[in-house]
Amino acid sequence: MSKPVIGVIGNSYKIEDRFLMQGAGDKSLRAVADVTGAMPLMFAASAQITDIESLLACVDGIVLTGGRANVHPRFYGEEPTAKHEPFDEERDELALELVRVCVERGIPLLGLCRGFQEMNVAFGGTLHPEIRELPGRMNHRMQRLENGEMHPDPDVLFAERHDVHLTPDGVFAKIFGSDRVFVNSLHGQGIIRRGERVIVEGVAEDETIEAIRIADAPGFALGVQWHAEYNPQTNAVNGALFRAFGEAVHASSKL
């Protein structure tokens, strides 16, 4: 029996500091394969390579993953600084249009971390390059060793670090069966001004926006700032989100 197909956006990176590659994290691919009941299909994060119409003819849903690069501030009307870097403008050009098309056509869409930020920018929202520098905000960046290097243990990097308070009776509260969830945190940037169709349904204890939906979307169109792809097979919160996404994909599948 055939399965629905979920497109998982890649990221560009270099190997040996010379050869440009496109890749998607194993965690993201396995989250789709193991939890949604669909087959993941990675596509290149480049408008020069990936044609949106051809892509959407092949898939039943889209996951916009996280990535090391940030959305370039020119896409929300600001000048770039060193704090905004690094960039991947080819992904920006593809992902921002893809968000709008998926929402318009009711194609299930799930945004994670960078993908969550792309959803906000796609509808006119803005981002701050260093949320931790704002008064009253916590450090949402990944855990590091005393020497500043990334912590070597993924289970430490992706450990739950703060609560997210959800809108009572909102979409997310219904998915999770609770008005509060405990999540991981590995981001520097964050939403400052929400897009005109962006509805905030979850905030961290420091008021950083963590969960959004797109108003009047005819299909599933949700984004979270945390990395929900990390162990949804065993993590109750992340698993519930991927299962809900999978149900929407199956319900709207072309099969």
Question: Which CATH number does the domain housing residue 207 bear?
Answer: 3.40.50.880
Angle, CA of 31, 34 and 40, to the nearest 5°: 65
Phi and psi at residue 136, in whole multiples of 5°?
Answer: 85, 0
| Residue range 3-61, pLDDT digits in tens | 999 999 998 887 888 888 888 899 999 999 999 999 999 999 999 999 999 999 999 99
Grade residue 132 by pLDDT with cuts at 50, 70 and 90. Answer: confident
58 catalytic, yes or no? no
- Percent of the chain beyond pLDDT 70? 93
Banded pLDDT at 228 (limits 50, 70, 90): very high
Cα–Cα distances (Å) from 162 to 21, 58, 88, in that order, read 34, 38, 29
Task: Give catalytic status of residue 84 as yes or no.
Answer: no
Q: For the chain, what is the domain count?
A: 1
Mean pLDDT, residues 143-156: 68
pLDDT in the model for residue 155: 72
Residues 186-225 have pLDDT tens digits of 777 899 999 999 999 999 998 999 999 999 999 999 999 9
The catalytic residue among 90, 118, 210, 229 is 229
Q: Among residues 90, 102, 113, 118, which one is catalytic? A: 113
Instruction: Note the pLDDT of residue 194.
Output: 95
Instruction: Clarify whether 102 is annotated catalytic.
Output: no
138, pLDDT greater than 90: no
Determine the pLDDT at residue 105.
Answer: 97
Give residue 93's pLDDT band: very low, low, confident or very high (50, 70, 90).
very high
Q: Cα separation of 236 and 253, whole Å? A: 25
Q: What pLDDT was estimated at residue 82?
A: 81
* Alpha carbons within 13 A on the beta-carbon side of 148: 0
Average pLDDT over residues 159-176: 93
Domain carrying residue 29: 5-252
